[in-house]
Amino acid sequence: MLPQPIRVALLGVTLAFVGGSLVSRLADARLPGNNTGYAPVQPLAYSHRLHAGELGIDCLYCHMAALRGRHAGIPSADVCMACHRSVRASQEAVRAEEQAASAEGRAPRTIVSTELAKLYAALGLDDQLRPDPQATPSPIPWKQVHVLPEHAQFDHSVHMASGLRCQQCHGPIETMERVRQQERLSMGWCLDCHRAVNRDGVGGQPVAASLDCAACHY
């Protein structure tokens, strides 16, 4: 058995012959069609379980673009500030500080969560949420979870218009602390659903989901 780094290097060389586009994927150790369960650690611990589950925020509040075009899109940090201008830490952390302050007979300090501090830093704001002249705003470098190969086309809007729900393709995102790819996103997965909806419809409405190569490859 070869040591791990050498095996990985050999796999890289083999795949380099298969196709250039595969090589860039190796950096994240993922192979096309077999990314089920992929759940990269994100630069900021944003939780869909908390926001879309417990707090009940609608998916479209942050992913409205899914109705209009190919991409559902990732919200910019400004969208988060609708709430996080006032919510700077969890209620639990705020309450703990209030109790500590009253026990010590002092005024409670403003608590800023370490994860939310990353949000403020991305917007170039200081501890008081004022623009920090020293800081350069830069978007949060979220890691992309779902990726189709370039030769296949997928458009959210046609799927949303037919009445499908996000969860039919992404699983129970509102229970996920960290987003995980639920389905294979293989050609077989697309075609299986297209055949099923052509037979059963979506929510009682008939649909005609294409099985033509050119619908998905052009």
Q: What are phi and psi of 72, to 5 degrees?
A: -80, -25
- In the window 2-31, what residues touch ligand HEC (CB under 6 A)? none
- In the window 100-129, what residues touch ligand HEC (CB under 6 A)? 113, 115-116, 119
- 67 in Cβ contact with 160 (< 8 Å): yes
**Tokens found for residue 32:** 């096309």
Residue with tokens 């990353």: 118
- 41 in Cβ contact with 178 (< 8 Å): yes
- Shorter beta-carbon distance to ligand HEC: residue 16 or 82: 82
Of 51, 96, 135, 157, the one binding ligand HEC (CB under 6 A) is 51
Name the minimum Å distance from CB 5 to ligand HEC.
27
Can you tell me the distance from the alpha carbon of 59 to that of 90, in angstroms, rounded to the nearest whole number? 21
Residue with tokens 């990726």: 147
42 is a contact residue toward ligand HEC (CB under 6 A): yes
Instruction: Report the chain's C-alpha Rg in angstroms.
Output: 22
Name the minimum Å distance from CB 135 to ligand HEC.
18
- In the window 151-210, what residues touch ligand HEC (CB under 6 A)? 152, 154, 156, 158-160, 162, 164, 166, 168-170, 173-174, 179, 185-187, 189-191, 193-194, 197, 202, 207-210
Can you tell me the distance from the alpha carbon of 198 to that of 214, in angstroms, rounded to the nearest whole number? 18
- 104 in Cβ contact with 119 (< 8 Å): no
- Shorter beta-carbon distance to ligand HEC: residue 9 or 215: 215
32 is a contact residue toward ligand HEC (CB under 6 A): yes
- Shorter beta-carbon distance to ligand HEC: residue 9 or 82: 82
- In the window 71-90, what residues touch ligand HEC (CB under 6 A)? 71-75, 79-80, 82-84, 87, 89-90
- Shorter beta-carbon distance to ligand HEC: residue 9 or 175: 175
Q: What does DSSP assign to residue 131?
A: B
